[in-house]
């Protein structure tokens, strides 16, 4: 059951650990994710001809070090900007332009993105939605610094206009792409969730996401008196949280570390800033303002990018080292925070018992009611 956005127990927890079995991120050893090339492929036009199937190619794995192992599997890398930038995009508008081009070309039937909540009590909260038209994609442009539980939206029963074998692009934070890859890697049915429909994954580079109420309502609205109705953009850039009003006034420019308590605790353990298991990774780091850094990771990603090329200004990535530097910092934090062993060579899923052993007597010890 979801009320605050977090799962809530509706009955007594018996400690059966089924949640561990059902949540695609529960027990996922994300650093050991399987290469995309081993997955089922319904991609149609985006289907890969060349893949990362060489067993010796482990560049898709998330290694803990040594520092400097690059940006993962990258075929091409660019700074990209939408040739005609719609209002509301976060950086270069590359994601919005790409999705619109793929929809217009009929290469995809929809895109799982995040749009602003329609609930007036939730300003600046992103909620997951499947956009089926370019207008809906444009309306969902920009970044929301909250978890949208995006993968739940892959139960497509709310979208009757989609064909019976839909082809979807998924935009999400690296952890969401990891969850998707985990579900694709499982051999059994995914129930109502149409994992089989996903033909393209776009990871937003991410060091951390936030709890909506803590960040937006408590820290920004209540403590710092930000008028959320006037806000045009919220951005985390160069280590600072920046809030701009529609009239151009900078309402807030403060170190993002001041908002640490509002960040999601699980993010500390994630060493996947670069979204290594996605087809495309996009972010602001590495490019000058107003442009999007784009890492093309798979053949499928390359085809999608080529399809959208006519809608994009494309040039060399300005500062790839900036990406590598932030990746190293992110990994250092993750490896310092993980209580279990970080092991890209170990099986994809962690036993619940192993998890309990690793986190026993830590602040993150699972709460198990034994009767
Ligand atoms: C929580 C979060 C943290 C980020 N951290 C970094 C960072 O540390 N460094 C960095 O370089 N870049 C980061 N980014 C990515 C950056 O903010 C831009 O999304 C990226 O540069 C693409 O810009 P664009 O103009 O091409 O995208 P746009 O054209 O504006 O499109 C962005 C797309 O992302 C979707 N989206 C927005 N919020 C979410 C969300 N919460 N979950 C899933 N999808 C969403 C939108 O619906 C839209 O389709 C982060 C993004 C998010 C959401």
242 and 279 in a common domain: no
Average pLDDT over residues 122-146: 98
Q: Is residue 347 part of a domain?
A: yes
Number of the ligand 1 atom closest to the C-alpha atom of 142:
30
228 and 200 in a common domain: no
Q: Shortest CA distance to 309 belongs to which of 102, 136, 107?
A: 102
Average pLDDT over residues 337-361: 89
308 and 347 in a common domain: yes
pLDDT tens by residue, 174-226 = 999 999 988 887 766 777 889 999 999 999 999 999 999 999 999 999 999 99
* Burial call 281-318: b when 16+ CB within 10 Å, e when fewer: bbbbbbbeeebbbbbbbbbbbbbbbebbeebbebeebe
292 and 192 in a common domain: yes
Mean pLDDT for the chain overall: 88
Q: Shortest CA distance to 300 belongs to which of 153, 108, 164?
A: 108
Q: What is the pLDDT of residue 187?
A: 66
CB distance 132 to ligand 1 below 6 Å: no
Number of the ligand 1 atom closest to the C-alpha atom of 235:
17
Report DSSP state, residue 134.
H
Q: What pTM does this model have?
A: 0.93
Domain housing 249 = 220-263
121 and 172 in a common domain: yes
Q: Which two tokens stand for residue 130?
A: 């499947």
Give the DSSP H/E element, type plus range, for residue 116: strand 110-116
245 and 111 in a common domain: no
Q: Measured in angstroms, how far is the CA atom of residue 355 from the centroid of ligand 1?
A: 31
Q: Measured in angstroms, how far is the CA atom of residue 202 from the centroid of ligand 1?
A: 10
Q: Is residue 33 part of a domain?
A: yes
Q: Please check whether residue 242 is in contact with residue 235, taking contact to mean a CB–CB distance below 8 angstroms.
A: yes
Q: Please check whether residue 112 is in contact with residue 171, taking contact to mean a CB–CB distance below 8 angstroms.
A: yes
Q: What is the pLDDT of residue 1?
A: 41
Cβ-based burial of 229 (10 A; exposed 0-12, middle 13-18, buried ≥19): exposed
Q: Is residue 250 part of a domain?
A: yes
Is pLDDT larger for residue 1 or for residue 13? 13
pLDDT at position 40 over 60: no
CATH code, domain with 225: 3.10.450
203 and 224 in a common domain: no
Q: Measured in angstroms, how far is the CA atom of residue 237 from the centroid of ligand 1?
A: 12
Q: Measured in angstroms, how far is the CA atom of residue 360 from the centroid of ligand 1?
A: 35
78 and 41 in a common domain: yes
pLDDT at position 36 over 60: no
């Amino acid at each position: 059951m979801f009320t605050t956005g977090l799962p809530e127990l509706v009955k007594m927890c018996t400690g059966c650990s089924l949640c561990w079995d059902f949540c695609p991120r529960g027990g996922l050893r994300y650093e050991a994710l399987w290469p995309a090339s081993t997955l089922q492929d319904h991609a149609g036009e985006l289907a890969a001809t060349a893949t990362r199937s060489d067993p010796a190619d482990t560049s898709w794995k998330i290694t803990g070090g040594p520092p400097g192992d690059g940006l993962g599997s990258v075929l091409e890398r660019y700074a990209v900007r939408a040739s005609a930038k719609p209002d509301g995009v976060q950086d270069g508008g590359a994601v919005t332009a790409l999705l619109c081009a793929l929809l217009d070309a009929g290469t995809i039937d929809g895109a799982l993105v995040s749009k602003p909540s329609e609930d007036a009590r939730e300003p600046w909260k992103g909620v997951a939605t499947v956009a089926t038209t370019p207008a809906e994609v444009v309306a969902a442009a920009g970044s929301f610094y909250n978890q949208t539980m995006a993968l739940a939206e892959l139960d497509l029963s709310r979208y009757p206009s989609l064909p019976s074998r839909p082809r979807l692009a998924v935009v999400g934070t690296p952890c969401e792409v990891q969850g998707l890859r985990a579900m694709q890697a499982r051999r059994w049915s995914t129930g109502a969730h149409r994992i089989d429909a996903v033909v393209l994954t776009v990871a937003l580079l991410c060091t951390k996401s936030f709890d909506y109420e803590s960040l937006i309502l408590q820290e920004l609205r209540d403590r710092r008196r930000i008028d959320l109705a006037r806000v045009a953009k919220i951005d985390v850039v160069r280590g600072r949280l920046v809030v701009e009003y529609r009239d151009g006034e900078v309402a807030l420019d403060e170190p993002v570390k001041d908002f640490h308590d509002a960040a999601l605790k699980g993010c500390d353990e994630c060493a996947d800033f670069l979204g290594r298991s996605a087809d495309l990774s996009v972010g602001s780091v590495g490019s000058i303002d107003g442009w999007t850094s784009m890492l093309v990771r798979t053949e499928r990603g390359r085809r999608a990018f080529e399809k959208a090329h006519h809608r994009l200004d494309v040039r060399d990535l300005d500062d790839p080292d900036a990406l590598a530097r932030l990746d190293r910092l992110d990994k250092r934090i993750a490896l310092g925070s993980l209580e279990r062993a970080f092991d890209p060579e170990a099986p994809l899923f962690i036993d619940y018992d192993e998890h309990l052993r690793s986190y026993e007597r830590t602040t993150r010890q699972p709460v198990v009611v034994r009767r």
